[in-house]
A and B are shown apart, each in its own frame.
Chain A
Amino acid sequence: KQEVTQIPAALSVPEGENLVLNCSFTDSAIYNLQWFRQDPGKGLTSLLLIQSSQREQTSGRLNASLDKSSGRSTLYIAASQPGDSATYLCAVGWAGSYQLTFGKGTKLSVIP
């Protein structure tokens, strides 16, 4: 079964700190991987999309990497701000399927 795991489930950091969120997946037949942000009670907002042929993607203070061989992706957030507080989810698209498999997310709290 294709599974996506995000550890830790929750993370609290002081403002200004650089941090890394982790996502691991069990199947190397990955098509792409997306990172999303979800604010409480809201829908998901796409942050970064990495194709299976890519190693990383960057947007502003965010950098996502992909290592298919080890089944891992990381989301790096530089100089964290209180406004970054949210739940971050990764989702894997698999070869031969329209479906995405979501991790359960990491709830990030950035303390002023």
Chain B
Amino acid sequence: DVKVTQSSRYLVKRTGEKVFLECVQDMDHENMFWYRQDPGLGLRLIYFSYDVKMKEKGDIPEGYSVSREKKERFSLILESASTNQTSMYLCASSIRDRGNTIYFGEGSWLTVV
């Protein structure tokens, strides 16, 4: 059974803190993605990676960075958290061929106070 695991389901952080959101997949997928989901705005792509140490900006990369040192792990980093980054963050993965299914984790609810 496919598995995308986001290590933290619920986090509360203070403004200005550095925040790490971790995602691990066990399917040997090349592609990994970070989205955020907000009411009324839907899902928006922050960053994606198509290989180890490779990354591409999505639609809303400002205020975020990512790290992919190993194939199975893709981390989202908020260098200095702000209240407008309060959101649901979703990690996903897929095999390299774009014609295949994308699998999502359960999501991480981040509240910045």
A and B together in one complex: yes
Least CB separation from A4: chain B residue: B42
Size bin of chain B's contact surface: 20 to 34
- Tell me which of A66-74, A76-84, A101-109 binds B: A101-109
Q: Which of B31, B59, B107 has the most CB of A within 10 A?
A: B107
Question: Which one, B43, B58, B98, contacts A93 given CB within 8 A?
Answer: B98
Known: A104-B40, A105-B42. A42 touches B107 (CB 8 A): yes
Q: Check if B42 sits within 8 Å of A102, measured CB to CB.
A: yes
Q: Check if A103 sits within 8 Å of B45, measured CB to CB.
A: no
Q: Check if A51 sits within 8 Å of B99, measured CB to CB.
A: yes
Q: Check if A49 sits within 8 Å of B101, measured CB to CB.
A: yes
Q: Check if B45 sits within 8 Å of A43, measured CB to CB.
A: no
Task: State A104–B98 Cα separation when bound (angstroms).
Answer: 22
Question: Which one, B4, B42, B100, B107, contacts A103 given CB within 8 A?
Answer: B42
Q: Check if A104 sits within 8 Å of B42, measured CB to CB.
A: yes
Task: State A104–B99 Cα separation when bound (angstroms).
Answer: 22
Q: Which of A34, A42, A45, A105 has the most CB of B within 10 A?
A: A42
Given contact pairs A43-B106, A45-B104, A102-B43, enumerate 9 new A-B contacts (beta carbons under 8 Å): A31-B98, A41-B107, A42-B107, A43-B90, A44-B90, A93-B99, A98-B48, A99-B45, A100-B102
Could you list 22 A-B pairs, sorted by A, with CB under 8 Å?
Answer: A34-B102, A36-B104, A42-B107, A43-B4, A43-B90, A43-B104, A43-B107, A45-B104, A46-B102, A46-B104, A49-B100, A51-B99, A89-B42, A93-B98, A93-B99, A98-B31, A99-B45, A99-B48, A100-B102, A102-B42, A103-B42, A105-B42
